[in-house]
Amino acid sequence: MVRTASDCGLRSILFLMALLQIGCTQDPVAALEACADDDCRLVHIDAAFQQHPESVEQVVRAVSNSISAATLAEHLASQNPEEARAICDWLGPKTVGHQRCRRIYDRPHLIAGEQLKKPGPAPAGTRGPRSADLPRPDWGDPPWLKAAERAAHREGGTCWDTHRGEEPGYSECLFQAAERRARRLKDGELGDVYLLCAASQFAPMCFAHVLQFAAPAPPAADRPDPAAVTRARAVADELTELLASEPGVQAVHLDRYWAVWVYSSFRIADEVTGDLLTLLPSPAHPHIRAAAALRFLAAPANRGLTFHQLVKSVQERLLVRTGAADPADPSTPLVNIRKERWLGVHPLEREIPSTFLMGPGRRASAQDTKVDLQIAVLEAAGQCDPPLPAAFFLGVVGGQESELVRWTGARIGAQLDPAAARGMTDASALVTARLAGKGGP
């Protein structure tokens, strides 16, 4: 039989249709395992997880690029909140990806359907900035509630249809919609994300989460990647414009944004340099000084220096500029900051200007950059594990340093050695109160 051109064309079409049918019926786990890039994996990972989560775990653990592995784990954790903790643990302990995943997605207090307790003052009455205290902008009502619901629907969510205003489900739905949107944020979209947070009863925590998502992954502070720095500044500019009508709210949110981004950048740096002082705007500079001091003290040899030697050394390192651009591997071992060194608050301390300390804590701040660096060095020394001896901090008491420097030294030193602190005196009532252990309200 002679085959015509039309016969051949028909056979080709049938063959292609068969291939498409095979592709449509392919085992999602097999499809996931065959992927060579993140885009492909994200297409298949949800179906594969529903069918065989153990196989998906093996795939994620086998991904050699830590950023890619974290992207996959975070995606699954966001879609499967009940299993978020186990999924985050796939990334392995002591990695940036694992800590970030657990911090953002491991939220059993929300998944259990309980009302999130309104955060009170930080430990023992602290009133400084805290991530859970990011203030809600006053945008009026309406139109922001309706705008927030429209933003949720654009994310494929039907928060109101699903929960009919029932709490905390409705608020958590908005919270998760904000996180999804922030993870793939484009220029000009931060407003929608903030509207979603503002409409949720978990707004303060939601703001803190989406700011971390919205910021690009930071490069190492000593190898600043221009593209990442440019993007970080663009998000900060958008945040500045978004909250322009409320300068007080704006300042706190920007402070939190730069505190986390800068700290994350120095956590993966090999050495201290001042490149970010040149590349980032002035609101980021107090965080550069604090993070640089902590990074410098990560080297055990530097912990034997005196206070003034440390200040001089960090100051000299911050004058160094590398100009190199080489994105760092975020799996580098980290220096953690979890100690609250500002316990309690004396009535006289309520007017002390403060700033976020690498994100979770707070410290006093000063307009004078020399004084601010001295405070940063003391705070960083208090975060070492173990912290430097109490004598290091109490050594500035009664001296010629600024009152805020002496107060910082007294505050940390009194925590480490209360007896030694009580035996000291200072001309300042602020410092004396801390030496006497009167830090409570």
Which one has a higher pLDDT value, 3 or 375? 375
pLDDT digits (tens, 9 = 90+) for 214-234: 888 899 999 998 888 998 999
- The answer on pLDDT for 2 being more than 60 is no
pLDDT, position 242? 87
What pLDDT shows up at residue 158? Answer: 65
195 belongs to a structural domain: no
Q: What distance in Å separates the CA atoms of residue 174 and residue 169, rounded to the nearest whole number?
A: 9
CA dihedral 386, 389, 392, 394 (to 10 degrees): 120
- List pLDDT tens digits, range 71-89: 888 888 877 776 788 888 8
152, 180 in Cβ contact below 8 A? Answer: no
Q: What is the pLDDT of residue 151?
A: 63
Classify residue 65: in a domain, yes or no: no
CA distance 233 to 122: 30
Residue 275 lies in a domain: yes
Q: What is the mean pLDDT of residues 68-73?
A: 86
Q: Which residues contact 161 (CB under 8 A, 6 or more apart)?
A: none
Q: Say how many domains are in the chain.
A: 1
Please report whether residue 92 resides in a domain: no
The whole domain housing 364 covers 262-441
Distance CA(273)–CA(264), nearest Å, equals 15
Q: What is the mean pLDDT of the chain?
A: 77
Please report whether residue 150 resides in a domain.
no
Q: Is residue 296 part of a domain?
A: yes
Whole-number Å distance between alpha carbons of 88 and 77? 7
> What's CA 113's distance to the chain center, in Å?
25
Alpha-carbon gap, residue 239 to 136, rounded angstroms = 13
Instruction: Check residue 39 and give its pLDDT.
Output: 84
Report yes or no on 64 lying in a domain: no
C-alpha neighbours within 13 Å on the C-beta side of residue 165: 2
250-295 pLDDT, tens digit per residue, is: 888 899 899 989 998 998 899 999 999 999 999 999 999 999 999 9
Most confident of 123-132, 223-232, 306-315, 339-348: 306-315
Q: Is residue 370 part of a domain?
A: yes
Neighbours of 432 (CB within 10 A): 18
Which is more confident, 221 or 6?
A: 221
User: What is the pLDDT at residue 152?
Assistant: 60
- pLDDT tens digits along 412-423: 999 899 999 999
Q: What is the pLDDT of residue 327?
A: 37
What pLDDT does 424 receive? 95
